Chains A and B, each alone.
Chain A
Amino acid sequence: MLRELSETKPAAALEGRRPAAKPKQASGFWYVAPFLAAFTLFLLWPIISGLWMSLTNQSLTGAGGGFAGFGNYLEAFGDKAVWQSLGNTAVFTLLTAAPLVVLSFVMAHLVYVGLPGQWLWRLSFFAPYLLPVSVVAALWQWMFQPGFGLINATLSAWGIKQVGFLDTEGVAMFSVVLVTIWWTVGFNFLLYLSALQNIPDHLYEAAQLDGAGPWRRLVSITIPMVNRTTVMIVMLQILASLKVFEQIYLLTNGGPRGSTRSVLEYIYDTGFSGYRLGYASAISYLFFALIVVIAVLQLRVMNRKAS
């Protein structure tokens, strides 16, 4: 259908293109077709079917079904676990976003100023990012292990009382945040590092001739010059933190007493352990809507800042 249309498309509609770029226009659609097929099948269709599912009482066992209207959505609004997991997700996002932006910049800047040992620093900061999440969880469960885990053993050696890092309410979230910062800061670090390397040297040379000190140059050149990267990292980071699931699932399984359970984990629990696909979908879409709102707000704020 699309192809037929494109073949009969009048050339006048292609104004602005040089003639030489045109000859293959009729087959243009076929370059996009494989991607489009996958896109439709595995992204668009789940979005639509999930929306439909959220209006039903469908169960994972195939049983049930039946149209529920907005019943699932109404239930979600009154569900304490939804609000708790939303709160946990918000806390997690607030606690991770700032350190992951600031720390990655500090790391990148320290590496960028040309101290010896470049490859070692880069490897140290980026290596955790390369680890599968289950390796990260295994390493840190071992670090947090009561008794002879490295951190608790160190505390004991100094005569400090050991801490149940993963099973104490109020502490577990901080442990998860710590692990997440350790695991993912390398990605932002590399983004900053390549942004820093793109700053033209002559800016610094000119500033130096004008007598600007290191601090002045950092504030007046470096930070403004990586502004676009900062904006992007902040946006990506907030969206990424909102979607946290895997490390929490593996480290604490949402516990103790739901104090680290994120929205995605609640969706997973509801759908795949509780078998309530319809209800899980409804929570997904409420969360999706929230993410879209946050993303749009971010874009607006950031655009205003940039201009």
Chain B
Amino acid sequence: MSTKTETLRVPGPTTGTGASRAGKTGVLKVGGLIALAVLALIWLLPILWGITTSLKTEADAAGSPFKAPAGGWNFDAYLQVLRQGDVPLWMFNSLVISVAVTVLTVGISALAAYGFSRTEFRGRKWLFALTVAAIMVPGQILIVPLYQQMNAMLLTDTWAGIVLPQVVAPMMVFILKNFFDTIPKELEEAARIDGAGGLRVFLTIVMPLSRPILVAVSIFVFIGAWNNFLWPFIVTNNPDLLTLPVGLATIKNAYGVQYAQTMASAILAALPLLVMFMLFQRHIVKGFATSGLGGQ
């Protein structure tokens, strides 16, 4: 596992095996590099163009994309956006909501996964089967009844109303349960003999052993919550509670043709996760493998 990640991260020392593994002749290698470069360029182009636009004045942004801006490159659009204060507010809302969703989701999912993996109680198998079946339910089709329910519970236009429905993640319970199943029971038994209770065993032994998977699951849940559009869009009308994705969607209409500012807002909105990905690249790629999603 770890050697795999090494292979991936440090191509230098492994070019030998990489080359022999795929038997790359020089031609194939050059061809591969060109294909990669072209694809990567296509994939980065919209983002790069967004960045360059955000560094122009509005007048230049509406001009030819091939000419250097007459007004020069500048951060005016960013300053404007930050001064108006909406984007920072939305970012703050998104951060609070995403952290709350992540902590709650991972917390209750890990507890449930531990319950399903390590304990016995009546109906356990049946409940787990129900949880697995629920993975199939497309949450999006429940927006109508869920909105009515939130209305009845007086949770529309509240943080709780945005957060709570998002913490139900049967898939995460499933992934965590699969992982807990692989932890040797002997480790827990020793602690139990020393008199540790169930919750204590869970917190001091199972959780620390599961760090890689917990990090991976947390990242997935966080990305999901940060980028969630549909639910926050439906459940709130309060401008003070708008999340970043929802707020941004309103900006486009409000500003009309202010492309530099729209792009600056978009780039600001994209930054946190892009930075997170760069910092946690290894964990995210590894997470796909350990979560069983990318496994064999």
Residues of A that sit less than 8 Å from B by CB? 2-3, 5-6, 9, 14, 17-18, 20-32, 34-36, 38-39, 41-43, 45-47, 49-50, 53, 58, 107, 110-111, 113-128, 130-135, 137-143, 145, 148-150, 153, 157, 182, 190-195, 197-199, 201, 204-205, 208, 212-214, 217, 225, 228-229, 232, 239, 242-243, 245-246, 250, 264, 267-268, 271-272, 277, 280-281, 284-285, 287-288, 291-292, 295
CA distance A22 to B107 in the complex (A): 23
Q: Determine whether the beta carbon of A130 is less than 8 Å from that of B230.
A: no
Cβ-based interface call for B78 (8 A):
no
Cβ-based interface call for B239 (8 A):
no
Residues of A within 8 A of B245 (CB): 132-135
CA distance A111 to B144 in the complex (A): 43
Residues of A within 8 A of B139 (CB): 43
CB distance from B234 to the nearest CB of A (A): 7
Instruction: Specify the chain A residue showing the minimal Cβ separation from B16.
Output: A114
Q: Determine whether the beta carbon of A127 is less than 8 Å from that of B47.
A: yes
**Interface of chain B, helix or strand or loop or mixed?**
helix
CB distance from A299 to the nearest CB of B (A): 10
Most chain A CB neighbours (cut-off 10 Å) among B5, B46, B165: B46
Cβ-based interface call for B183 (8 A):
no
Which B1-34 residues sit within 8 Å CB-CB of chain A? 4-5, 7-9, 11-12, 14-15, 17-25, 28-29, 32-33
Cβ-based interface call for B154 (8 A):
no
Given A128-B43, A295-B136, A197 and B28 contact (CB-CB distance below 8 Å): no
CA distance A193 to B9 in the complex (A): 12
CA distance A14 to B63 in the complex (A): 74
CA distance A284 to B137 in the complex (A): 12
User: How many residues of chain B get a CB closer than 8 Å to chain A's CBs?
Assistant: 120
CA distance A57 to B8 in the complex (A): 57
Q: Determine whether the beta carbon of A125 is less than 8 Å from that of B121.
A: no
Q: Determine whether the beta carbon of B149 is less than 8 Å from that of A115.
A: no
CB distance from B40 to the nearest CB of A (A): 4
CA distance A26 to B169 in the complex (A): 25
Instruction: Specify the chain B residue showing the minimal Cβ separation from A277.
Output: B144
Q: Determine whether the beta carbon of A43 is less than 8 Å from that of B142.
A: yes
Q: Determine whether the beta carbon of B121 is less than 8 Å from that of A115.
A: no
Residues of A within 8 A of B57 (CB): none
- Could you mark each residue 131-153 of chain B with 1 if its beta carbon is under 8 Å from any beta carbon of chain A, else 0? 10010111111111111110000
CA distance A134 to B9 in the complex (A): 32
- Could you mark each residue 220-245 of chain B with 1 if its beta carbon is under 8 Å from any beta carbon of chain A, else 0? 00010011011000100000000011
Cβ-based interface call for B217 (8 A):
no
Residues of B within 8 A of A198 (CB): 4, 289, 294-296
CB distance from B296 to the nearest CB of A (A): 5
- The 9 A-B pairs of least Cβ separation, nearest first, read A114-B18, A28-B119, A31-B115, A194-B294, A50-B145, A35-B112, A24-B198, A124-B40, A134-B248
CB distance from B144 to the nearest CB of A (A): 5
Given A148-B64, A214-B28, A36 and B127 contact (CB-CB distance below 8 Å): yes
CA distance A271 to B18 in the complex (A): 55
Most chain B CB neighbours (cut-off 10 Å) among A24, A53, A246: A24
Q: Determine whether the beta carbon of A42 is less than 8 Å from that of B192.
A: no
Residues of A within 8 A of B192 (CB): 20, 23
Q: Can you list 21 A-B contacts with CB-CB less than 8 angstroms, sorted by A residue number? A: A20-B192, A23-B192, A31-B119, A35-B173, A42-B149, A43-B142, A113-B24, A114-B22, A116-B12, A127-B277, A130-B227, A130-B276, A132-B245, A133-B245, A138-B262, A138-B263, A139-B49, A141-B252, A194-B285, A194-B288, A291-B136
